[in-house]
Amino acid sequence: MSQQLFTLDYLDTPPTAVAGAEPAQDVRVSPATRTGRQRKLYIESYGCQMNFSDSEIVSSILFDEGFDTTEQLADADLVLLNTCSIREKAEQTVRMRLSQINSHKKRNPGMLVGVLGCMAERLKSKFLEEEKLVDLVVGPDAYRDLPNLIREVDGGQKAVNVLLSRDETYADITPVRLNSNGITAFVSIMRGCDNMCSFCVVPFTRGRERSRDAHSIEQECRDLVAQGYKEVTLLGQNVDSYKWASEDGTEHVNFAQLLERVARISPELRVRFSTSHPKDITDEVLYTMGRYENICKYIHLPAQSGNSRILKLMNRTYDRAWYEERVQAIRRILGPECAISTDMISGFCSETEEEHQDTLSLIDWVQYDMAYMFFYSERPGTLAARKLEDDIPLDVKKRRLQEIIDLQQKSSFARNQQAVGKVHRVLVENFSKRSQEHLSGRNSQNQVVIFPKKHYKKGDYVNVFVHTGTGGSLLGDAVE
C-alpha cells in the first residue's frame, strides 16, 4: 500500500522532494459551477489522488441535491474539507484551516462546516464534541448519506456517519471533474486496502479492499474519451490486487485484464495507474504494458526501505531480494527506459545506521526517476504505534532523510540526462507555469517536458526533441 500519493498538479517541476522533511501538502479548491442553485458548496481536498477523486464524487452527489460549487469561502453555505491522515503534519494543517473557517462562520452563522475522508473516521468525536469545530463528519464510505446528514444539520443537530462498507465503490456515480485541465482524469477502480503495513492508517480509515465493476470503469473511460479527455489514471491503494467477478460468475477480471480493456478503448487514450505493491505486481501486468503503446511506461513501486529487517517490521510482506527481482522484471520486460518511482521512509522504529545505508544503496542500484521521501511519523492506531517504539531521534531522522533526498536528486538528474538527445511524444496539459509562450506536458515516463508553444495547444500530442535535462524537467523543441 502506498501511503504517499501526492499529485503533481501539473507543475513544471515534479517535486522529487522539498528541502526539509517532505513534499508540500497538495491542496485543491474545487472550481465554481453556476447553474442558479441557491446553496453553494465550497470544498477543499488534501493529500492523495484518491481524495481528489472522492471530492468529485461528493460534488456530483451534492449537485444532484441542489448545490452549486463556489471558489469563494465567504459565499459558501456548506464548507467541506476532504482530509488526509497519513502524516501528522497533514492533520495539523487541517486543524489550522478549520480554525480559520470557523472565524468566517462567526460572521455567517448559517454556514455549515464538515470534515470528510480519513481524518473524519479517525477523529470524529474530537471534531464534534471536544473541539466543536464542525457540524458534520462523514467517512469515505458514507458520501451517499450526505443529503440526509445535511438535513439533520439544517434541523439543528450534529451529524456523523463514518461507517465503513464492504461493498461501496460509487460505481454508478458520474464524478464532477474538478480542477480539471480537460485532458487528464482520475478513475477510481477500487477502494480500501487489505495490506496491514505497520506504519499506515489507511486500512483503518478506508476499510477493506473491494473492486469496482469492470464494465462501469470501461464506460467511465469511454465517456471521458467522448468528452475529449486524452489520459486516465486508474486509481487504487493497491491496483495490482484488483479482482472483479460478475454476479453470475461468468466474468473474472484481474488488473492486467482491466488495463488491457481500458487501453483498447482508443489508441489516443493514454493510460496510467497508481499505486502498485511490490508483492503483487505481476509479469502479466508488465507484458500487458509492453503490448500497448498507450499504456505509459511508468510504475510507482514504493519500497519504503532498502533493508529486509525493517521491511519485516513494516509488515510489507516482501524482502529486499523480492523487490530487486521485481525491478529486474520491469527492466527485462519493458526495457531500461521504463520509469520507476518510489516512496522512502527514514528513521523507522529501531533503524540502525547500517540499515539506513541499505536504503541508500537500493536508491543507487535502482536509479529511481522520482521519489516521495519522508521521515517516520508515528500515527495513532497503527500497528507500529501499538507494538513498536518510535526510538529514532528527530534530528537523526531528518539527517538520514536529507541523505536520501540528496542521493535521489542525483538519480533524478541522471535519469533526465538519459532523455536528452531523443524525441519524446508529449501530451500537452497546460501552459508552462513560467511562461504563456511555452507549453507543459508529460511523456510516457511521466517526465515533465517544456517547449515553445508555436501553434500547438492543450490536448495535442507533440513530438519534442529534448535538448536539456534538469533535475525536475526536460526542455526541448517541437519537431514536425
Where does 184-417 sit in CATH, by number?
A: 3.80.30.20
Tell me, what's the pLDDT at 34?
62
Q: What is the dihedral of CA 365, 366, 367, 373, to 10 degrees?
A: -110
> What percent of the chain has pLDDT above 70?
91
Helix (H) or strand (E) holding 111, with range, is: none
> Is the pLDDT score of 445 beyond 70?
yes
Tell me, what's the pLDDT at 8?
26
Distance CA 378, CA 198 (A): 10
Distance CA 115, CA 205 (A): 13
Distance CA 295, CA 95 (A): 40
Which residues make beta-bridge pairs with 40?
68
CATH architecture of 27-161: 3-Layer(aba) Sandwich (3.40)
CB 339 within 8 A of CB 298: yes
> Which residues, at least 6 apart from 240, have a Cβ–Cβ distance to it below 8 Å?
255, 276, 277, 280, 281, 282, 285
Find the angle CA(438)-CA(460)-CA(415) to the nearest 5 degrees. 65
What secondary structure letter does DSSP report for 145? G
Distance CA 457, CA 460 (A): 6
What secondary structure letter does DSSP report for 87? S
- pLDDT band at residue 409 using 50, 70 and 90 as cut-offs: very high
Once rounded to an integer, what is the mean pLDDT over residues 202-206?
84
Helix (H) or strand (E) holding 186, with range, is: strand 184-188
Tell me: is residue 48 an annotated ligand-binding position.
Answer: yes
Once rounded to an integer, what is the mean pLDDT over residues 166-182?
80
Q: What is the mean pLDDT of the chain?
A: 88
Domain span(s) for CATH 3.80.30.20 in the chain: 184-417
Domain span(s) for CATH 3.40.50.2300 in the chain: 27-161
> Is the pLDDT score of 142 beyond 80?
yes
Tell me, what's the pLDDT at 11?
29
Which has the minimum average pLDDT: 13-27, 69-83, 286-300? Answer: 13-27
Each residue of 327-351: pLDDT tens digit?
999 999 999 999 999 999 999 999 9
* Residue located via cell numbers 482491466: 258
Q: How many residues does the chain have?
A: 480
Tell me, what's the pLDDT at 455?
96
What secondary structure letter does DSSP report for 21? S
Edge-to-edge strands of the sheet including 184-188? 184-188, 231-235, 270-274
Percent of the chain that is helix, strand, coil (3-state, to 5): 35, 25, 40
Tell me: is residue 197 an annotated ligand-binding position.
Answer: yes
> Is the pLDDT score of 30 beyond 80?
no
> What percent of the chain has pLDDT above 90?
65
Which residues make beta-bridge pairs with 138?
116, 161
Distance CA 281, CA 279 (A): 6
CB 115 within 8 A of CB 99: no
> Is the pLDDT score of 20 beyond 60?
no
What secondary structure letter does DSSP report for 126? I
Question: What Cα–Cα distance (Å) separates residue 18 from each residue in 29, 243, 406, 470?
Answer: 22, 36, 11, 16
CB 474 within 8 A of CB 449: yes
> Is the pLDDT score of 3 beyond 50?
no
Q: How many CA atoms lie within 13 A of 100 on its CB side?
A: 9
Tell me: is residue 200 an annotated ligand-binding position.
Answer: yes
Helix (H) or strand (E) holding 127, with range, is: none
Domain span(s) for CATH 2.40.50.140 in the chain: 423-478
* Residue located via cell numbers 523543441: 477
Once rounded to an integer, what is the mean pLDDT over residues 457-477?
95
Tell me: is residue 118 an annotated ligand-binding position.
Answer: yes
Distance CA 257, CA 264 (A): 11
CATH architecture of 423-478: Beta Barrel (2.40)
Q: Which of 267, 265, 193, 252 is nearest to 224 (CA)?
A: 265
Tell me, what's the pLDDT at 105?
85
